[in-house]
């Protein structure tokens, strides 16, 4: 029986990059049962909510979820009573129990010169950001009056232990735990729990603790020193986007959001919906391709097929493929063909 994949094209360039991704998955030899649902702004327009109960139930019953992009100025609002596309993301993470977000950052030699940092700074960088995804300030109690507002940042021991385990298991040599323990109480608990877990279960892995402001500085001054970075939700959101600049374009970065073993994961590119270029056929599909590779590896256990896609992307770039965000003129179709020809 074929694995069931829920497709969430979303908004903006989303539908334009998910279609060639299915072509690539077919070419690499996979055969899945696909089911498409509206999500984000498209779902707000159709149903008045970014994530319907029907879509969530379909995702919960699937083997994996492949998401393209959500959002756009059409749905921007500061009115807490109005739906926003991003609420769909938060609801999906909570509904699927996706507590671990993995963002690999590996600048390719072919793209070193596309990075805003000097080649000698980024050379050899190969890091993984492990972000806690269902706790912290994004999910804490919120209040709002005309003149004041508050967002509660809360974590418990179990939430910290489970995300730290993901980081320690992924590490090759070192885990860097990022917090703000000199100021924030949740960070003090975070540091204490990570330290205890390390001593009890992962003493063979080197552990270091650094403050989030120092981490932000080190990411652009000495990125190759990092192996695995583990941190809470908001810090991880900011640091992973900062790390994305190392590759030269946020259009190159995939991500995987995982929960308990055996449960469906969510796989999506880091970039947004790019409404300014939607419909022009020039979107960079490579992060979507690489997200599909993460789905094959982490969601479905298909390592060989995942490696084939990643290798094809690497070779296409080495042969000179450059989309507009990488300083070239290749459109979505040309980028797809370049990767397909290297499978």
Among 247, 281, 305, identify where a domain stops. Answer: 247
- The bridge status of strand 4-10 relative to strand 64-69 is parallel
- Rounded Cα gap, residues 65 and 79, in angstroms: 29
pLDDT at res. 307: 97
Count the Cβ atoms, other than its own, within 10 Å of residue 49. Answer: 14
Does 152 share its domain with 229?
A: yes
Q: Examine the pLDDT at 251 and tell me if it is beyond 80.
A: no
Give catalytic status of residue 213 as yes or no. Answer: yes
Q: Domain of 45: which CATH number?
A: 3.40.718.10
Tell whether 276 is covered by a domain: yes
pLDDT at res. 110: 83
313 lies in which domain range? 1-98+252-343
Tell whether 132 is covered by a domain: yes
Tell whether 110 is covered by a domain: no
**What is the percent of the chain where pLDDT is above 90?**
84
Helix (H) or strand (E) holding 8: strand 4-10
Of 180, 227, 314, 325, catalytic: 180
Q: What is the mean pLDDT of residues 35-55?
A: 97
Among 247, 281, 299, identify where a domain stops. Answer: 247
Does 120 share its domain with 239?
A: yes
108 is written with which tokens?
């390719």
In 3-state terms, the chain is what percent helix, strand and coil (to 5)?
45, 20, 35
Does 125 share its domain with 232?
A: yes
DSSP, res 259: -
pLDDT in tens, 72-88: 999 988 787 889 998 99
Q: What is the mean pLDDT of residues 137-145?
A: 94
Find out whether 28 and 288 touch, Cβ atoms under 8 Å: no
Show Cβ contacts of residue 188 under 8 Å, excluding neighbours closer than 6 positions. 179, 181
Tell whether 66 is covered by a domain: yes
Of 138, 179, 314, 325, catalytic: 138
Tell whether 92 is covered by a domain: yes
pLDDT at res. 115: 84
Of 26, 53, 213, 329, catalytic: 213
- Rounded Cα gap, residues 14 and 138, in angstroms: 24
pLDDT in tens, 291-321: 999 999 999 999 999 999 999 999 999 999 9
Q: What is the mean pLDDT of residues 22-50?
A: 96
Query: pTM of this prediction?
Result: 0.89
- Rounded Cα gap, residues 43 and 227, in angstroms: 38
Give catalytic status of residue 33 as yes or no. Answer: no
Find out whether 11 and 72 touch, Cβ atoms under 8 Å: yes
Of 11, 63, 179, 237, catalytic: 237
Give catalytic status of residue 227 as yes or no. Answer: no
Tell whether 158 is covered by a domain: yes
Does 79 share its domain with 134?
A: no
Q: Examine the pLDDT at 134 and tell me if it is beyond 80.
A: yes
Q: Examine the pLDDT at 250 and tell me if it is beyond 80.
A: no
Q: How confident is the model at residue 248 (pLDDT cuts 50, 70, 90)?
A: confident
Give catalytic status of residue 138 as yes or no. Answer: yes
- Rounded Cα gap, residues 151 and 140, in angstroms: 6
Tell whether 62 is covered by a domain: yes
3-state secondary structure of 2: coil
Does 225 share its domain with 260?
A: no
Tell whether 107 is covered by a domain: no
Q: Examine the pLDDT at 244 and tell me if it is beyond 90.
A: no
Residue among 289, 174, 181 at smallest CA distance from 230: 174
Among 224, 247, 270, identify where a domain stops. Answer: 247
Count the Cβ atoms, other than its own, within 10 Å of residue 75. Answer: 20
Give catalytic status of residue 155 as yes or no. Answer: no
- Rounded Cα gap, residues 230 and 215, in angstroms: 11
- Rounded Cα gap, residues 176 and 164, in angstroms: 10
Number of domains forming the structure of the chain? 2
- Per mean pLDDT, which range of 15-29, 45-59, 83-97 is the poorest? 83-97
- Rounded Cα gap, residues 86 and 220, in angstroms: 28
């Amino acid at each position: 029986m074929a694995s069931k994949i829920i497709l969430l094209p979303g908004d903006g360039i989303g539908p334009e990059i998910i279609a060639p991704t299915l072509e690539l998955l077919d070419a690499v030899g996979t055969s899945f049962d696909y089911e498409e649902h509206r999500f984000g702004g498209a779902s707000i327009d159709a149903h008045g909510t970014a994530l319907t109960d029907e879509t969530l139930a379909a995702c919960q019953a699937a083997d994996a979820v492949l998401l393209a992009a959500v959002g756009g100025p059409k749905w921007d609002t500061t009115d807490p009573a109005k739906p926003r596309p991003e609420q769909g993301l938060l609801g999906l993470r909570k509904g699927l129990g996706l507590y671990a977000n993995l963002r690999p950052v590996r600048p390719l030699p072919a793209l070193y010169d596309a990075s805003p940092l000097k080649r000698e700074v980024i050379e050899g960088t190969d890091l993984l950001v492990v972000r806690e995804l269902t706790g912290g300030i994004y999910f804490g109690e919120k209040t709002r009056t005309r003149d004041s507002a508050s967002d509660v940042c809360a974590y418990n021991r179990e939430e910290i232990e489970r995300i730290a385990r993901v980081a320690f298991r992924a590490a090759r040599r070192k885990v860097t735990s990022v917090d703000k323990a000199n100021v924030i109480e949740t960070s003090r608990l975070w540091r204490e729990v990570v330290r205890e877990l390390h001593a009890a279960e992962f003493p063979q892995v080197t552990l270091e603790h650094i403050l989030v402001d120092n981490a932000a500085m080190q990411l652009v001054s000495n990125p190759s020193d990092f192996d695995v970075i583990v941190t809470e939700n908001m810090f991880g959101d900011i640091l992973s986007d900062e790390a994305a600049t190392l590759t030269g374009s946020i259009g190159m970065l995939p991500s995987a959001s995982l929960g308990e073993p055996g449960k469906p994961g969510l796989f999506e590119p880091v970039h947004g919906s790019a409404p300014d270029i939607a419909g022009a056929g020039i979107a960079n599909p490579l992060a979507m391709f690489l997200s599909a590779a993460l789905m094959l590896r982490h969601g479905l256990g298909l390592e060989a097929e995942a490696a084939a896609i990643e290798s094809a992307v690497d070779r296409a770039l080495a042969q000179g493929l450059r989309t507009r965000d990488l300083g070239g003129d290749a459109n979505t179709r040309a980028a797809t063909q370049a990767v397909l020809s290297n499978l």
